[in-house]
Structure 1
């Protein structure tokens, strides 16, 4: 099961958050401590994995798990960070994160002339992007 989806910009701001719970609204927890704590954990683990492994490896952190959930992580060359939080039984969602970035984010946000270059505490509110990512994630066999 997929629990939530986050996107952070290159300035470490949570610009998109979607909780896959029927009682949660789009971007409701955007300013919450959870998004800040999640980014801090990922930042620390990414630095640790870079120091322990090959320093030349970009995106050396791909996922980590606890007893209850797994966090899947993809950082793009433009420093956008894509995060899916799933059930612990799901192994690898790198291809799904790549699809979310290369198809949905790129086509609806990056190539959209009305989207900001720097979000400066703005959130992604592109209706087409929200609809497409929701439909894509909900269509996955690992969603439920």
Structure 2
């Protein structure tokens, strides 16, 4: 069981954070810090790639379809779905930030983990950070989350999970 990727999209459909985890010794070292216990992988390298745009499109389409299948009186939420050999876990905050984890198929639903990432780490290190932008732009310096503390703490939290 493995976590492969972690994505955050803002309310304007922009990928503002992308973390890919390398679970093999040949992986590219992390750029988040210079310590020897960093998790291998890439940070914010594929924010503008077609794969992140396709992922957002799939989630948007599935969420729209699932909402149209039920009557208006019931609450219907897309939490996870399988796609080939991967399972995609999804959480959307009230402010329309979308948190996505991509794992192996065997992993149980991770909505509580995604809520924890939002409520404990995103709120604390991004939203409440006075130096962080209120709105993320499509390009430029404020187009993605580069907060080292946020990256470090989310990596520690995800690494502490038994599925990592």
Normalised to the residue count of structure 2, the TM-score between the two structures is 0.83
Larger Rg: 2
Consecutive unaligned residues in structure 1, runs of 5 or more:
none
Aligned to 1:49: 66
Conservation of the 8 A alpha-carbon contact between 1:74 and 1:98: yes
SS at match of 1:17: strand
Aligned to 2:163: 142
Q: How many residues align?
A: 143
Q: Deviations over 1:35-60 (max 9, x none)?
A: 00000000000000000124356661
Normalised to the residue count of structure 1, the TM-score between the two structures is 0.95
In structure 1, distance between residues paired with 2:75 and 2:51:
25
User: Which has the larger share of helix?
Assistant: 1
Q: CA RMSD in A?
A: 1.3
Aligned to 2:111: 94
In structure 2, distance between residues paired with 1:57 and 1:108:
34
- 1:82–1:56 distance in 2 versus 1, CA, 3 Å: farther
Matched, 1:68 2:85: yes
Q: Which runs of 4+ in 1 moved over 4 A?
A: 56-59
